[in-house]
A and B are shown apart, each in its own frame.
Chain A
Amino acid sequence: MMVAPATIVPIAASLASLAGVIDVRPLGAGGIPRVSTSAAGVVEMLRTLRNDHGFADLTLLTAEETDSSDGVTLVYELLRRADHSRVVIGVDLLDSELSAPSVSGIWAGAAPLEREVYDLFGVDFTDHPGLSRIVLRDDFVGHPLRKSFVAGETGVSAEQVAKALESHGDRLPGGEVPRATASLFAAARKPGDPQLRSERLILNMGPQHPSMHGVLHLWLALDGEQVVAAQPTHGYLHRCIEKLCESRDHRACTALLDRCDYVSGFHTELAHVLAIEELAGIESTPKADHLRTAMSELVRITSHHTWYAACGLDTGALTPFLYAFIDRELILDFFEEVTGARMMFNYFRPGGVKDDLPPGSAERIIAYLKGFTRAVDEYEALLTDNEIFRARTRGVGILSRQQITDFGVTGPMARASGVDIDLRRDEPYAAYDRIPTRVALAEVGDSFDRYVVRIAEMRESARIALAALEGLPEGPHLNPDVPRVIKPPRGTAFRWVESPRGELGVYVVSDGSSRPWRLKVRSPAFSNLHVCGQLLQGLRIGDVVAVLGSVDVVMGEIDR
Chain B
Amino acid sequence: MMVMLRVLLGIVIMIVIVLLNTVLVMWIERKLLGHIQSRLGPMRTGFHGLLQPIADAIKLLGKEDLVPAGADRILFLIAPLIAFTPSMLVYSAMPWVSEFAGMSFDVGIFMIFAISAMFPVGVLVAGWASHNKYSLIGGFRSAAQQISYEVPLILAVMGVVMLAESMKLSAIVEAQSNIWNIVTQPFAFVIFFIAMLAELNRVPFDMPEAESELVAGFNTEYSSMRFALFFLAEYANVFTWSLITVLLFFGGWAGPVLPGVVWLLAKTYAVVCLIIWMRATFPRVRVDQLMDIGWKILLPASLLNVLLTAIGVVTNLVVLTVLGVVATVVLIALIARLGTRAGDSLRAEVRP
Interface residues of A (CB under 8 A from B): 201, 203, 209-211, 225, 312-319, 322-323, 326, 382-392, 394-395, 416, 420, 436, 438-442, 444, 449, 452-453, 455-456, 460, 540-545
Contacts and interface: CB of A to CB of B under 8 A. Distances in A.
Contact of A316 (B203, B340, B351): B203
Contacts of A384: 346
B256 interface: no
B283 A392 contact: yes
12 contacts: A210-B211, A317-B282, A317-B283, A388-B285, A391-B285, A436-B352, A438-B352, A441-B348, A452-B346, A453-B348, A542-B207, A545-B212
Given A317-B283, A388-B282, A541-B214, A440 B37 contact: no
A388 B204 contact: yes
B286 A543 contact: yes
Contact of B283 (A201, A386, A438): A386
A541 B215 contact: no
A439 B281 CA distance: 30
B246 to A, nearest CB: 26
Contacts of A542: 207, 210, 213, 284, 286-287
Contact of B349 (A318, A389, A442): A442
Contacts of A389: 283, 339
B203 A210 contact: no
Contacts of B280: 318-319
Contact of A394 (B283, B287, B339): B339
A193 to B, nearest CB: 15
Interface string B25-44: 00000000100111100000
A543 B284 CA distance: 11
A456 B348 contact: yes
A398 to B, nearest CB: 12
B38 A456 contact: no
Nearest to A459: B350
Contacts of B279: 318
Contacts of B352: 436, 438-439
A440 B350 contact: yes
B284 A319 contact: no
B348 A391 contact: no
Contacts of B288: 225, 540
B221 interface: no
A461 B215 CA distance: 34
Contacts of B349: 440-442
A210 B212 contact: yes
Given A317-B284, A387-B340, 4 more contacts: A386-B339, A387-B338, A390-B346, A439-B350
B335 interface: yes
Contact of A312 (B211, B283, B340): B283
Interface hub of B33, B341, B350 (most chain A Cβ within 10 A): B350
A211 B212 contact: yes
Contacts of A312: 283
A540 B213 CA distance: 10
B346 A385 contact: yes
A209 B207 CA distance: 16
B133 interface: yes
Contacts of B335: 387
Given A384-B346, A395-B341, A319 B37 contact: yes
A458 B340 CA distance: 24
A315 B133 CA distance: 20
Interface of B: 33, 36-39, 133-134, 137, 203-204, 206-207, 210-215, 279-289, 335-336, 338-341, 344, 346-352
B223 to A, nearest CB: 16
B207 to A, nearest CB: 8
Contacts of A438: 350-352
A453 B213 CA distance: 25
Nearest to B134: A203
Given A201-B133, A388-B204, A540-B286, A316 B212 contact: yes
A444 B345 CA distance: 11
A211 B349 CA distance: 30
Contact of B38 (A313, A317, A322, A441): A322
A456 B350 contact: yes
B212 A314 contact: yes
Nearest to A383: B283
Nearest to B286: A542
Given A316-B204, A392-B283, A441-B349, A541 B340 contact: no
A452 B350 CA distance: 11
Nearest to A442: B348
B283 A541 contact: no
A203 B204 contact: no
Contacts of B281: 317, 319, 382, 386
B39 A387 contact: no
Contacts of B338: 387-388, 390-391
A2 B60 CA distance: 63
B286 A392 contact: yes
Contacts of B134: 203
Most buried by B among A386, A416, A544: A386
Contacts of A209: 215
B258 to A, nearest CB: 34
A541 B137 contact: yes
B37 A225 contact: no
Nearest to B38: A326
Contacts of A444: 344
A245 to B, nearest CB: 35
A315 B339 contact: no
A68 to B, nearest CB: 49
A540 B210 CA distance: 13
B283 A316 contact: yes
Contacts of A316: 203-204, 206, 210-212, 282-284
Contacts of A211: 211-213
B211 to A, nearest CB: 6
A383 B339 CA distance: 12
Nearest to B136: A201
A453 B349 CA distance: 8
A253 B38 CA distance: 39
A452 B215 contact: no
A225 B72 CA distance: 23
B216 to A, nearest CB: 9
A203 B138 CA distance: 13
Nearest to B212: A211
Nearest to A463: B350
Nearest to B351: A439
Nearest to A452: B348
A447 B150 CA distance: 32
Contact of B212 (A313, A385, A436): A313
Contacts of A449: 348
Nearest to B280: A319
Contacts of A315: 212, 283-284
A432 to B, nearest CB: 13
Contacts of B348: 416, 440-442, 449, 452-453, 455-456
Contacts of B287: 225, 540-542
A7 B33 CA distance: 61
Contacts of B350: 438-441, 456, 460
A344 B341 CA distance: 42
Contacts of A543: 286
Nearest to B341: A394
